[in-house]
Amino acid sequence: MQKIDPAEFTIDELLGVAEYVGNLNIPDHPAEITFSQTYGYPTSISYEDGFWSLAQFQPTSP
């Protein structure tokens, strides 16, 4: 069984969302992206009615 760190996977996914939302960023509808000051990855992204966050991230058991 391949071991995957859920936090790393989530950070990878959030980086993908940040890149996608950043490319959509329109002056009339700015995206809000916050980053970890220690590691530089996005911790939350909000754009129009969408919101993605690591703030409540909890790994779950299989």
Give the separation between CA 45 and CA 47, rounded to whole angstroms. Answer: 7
Q: Structure pTM?
A: 0.51
In a domain, 20, yes or no: yes
Q: Which residues contact 33 (CB under 8 A, 6 or more apart)?
A: 18, 21, 22, 42, 44, 45, 46
Give the separation between CA 10 and CA 5, rounded to whole angstroms. Answer: 9
How many domains does the chain contain in total?
1
pLDDT higher than 50, residue 61: no
| pLDDT, position 52 | 75
In a domain, 21, yes or no: yes
In a domain, 7, yes or no: yes
In a domain, 46, yes or no: no
In a domain, 39, yes or no: no
In a domain, 35, yes or no: no
Name the more confident of 53 and 56: 53
Over residues 44-55, the pLDDT tens digits come to: 878 777 777 765
In a domain, 40, yes or no: no
Comparing C-alpha atoms, which of 19, 24, 54, 22 is closest to residue 39?
Answer: 54
In a domain, 55, yes or no: no
- Whole domain around residue 20: which residue ranges? 1-28
Q: What percent of the chain has pLDDT over 90?
A: 0
pLDDT higher than 70, residue 4: no
